[in-house]
Amino acid sequence: MAGTNAEALDDDLTALGFKKVVYNADTGKTVLLLRNWTVTGIDNAGVEQSIDKTVVVHVTK
């Protein structure tokens, strides 16, 4: 997922049924427009996870 546009990833996660997605910026800034951010990682990547759990995505500009 690293290198993916955050807005595209959000669309994919929404299509899969995930409703609780948090985007953490490496700069500490609030992420408002996902299309302006690039994914650097996801907590617990590769681990099967319930769609009811929060997914934490790390992003950079």
Note the pLDDT tens digit of each residue in 15-45: 999 999 999 998 888 898 999 999 999 999 8
pLDDT at 46 over 90: no
Is 49 within the bounds of a domain? yes
Please give the pLDDT value at position 55: 94
The single-letter code of the amino acid at 40 is T
Q: How many domains are contained in the chain?
A: 1
Is 16 within the bounds of a domain? yes
Domain that holds residue 14: 6-60
Q: Which residues pair with 59 in a beta bridge?
A: 25, 39
Measured distance CA(2)–CA(20) in Å, rounded: 19
Is 37 within the bounds of a domain? yes
Is 1 within the bounds of a domain? no
Q: How many CB atoms lie within 10 A of CB 37?
A: 24
Is 10 within the bounds of a domain? yes
- pTM, two decimal places: 0.89
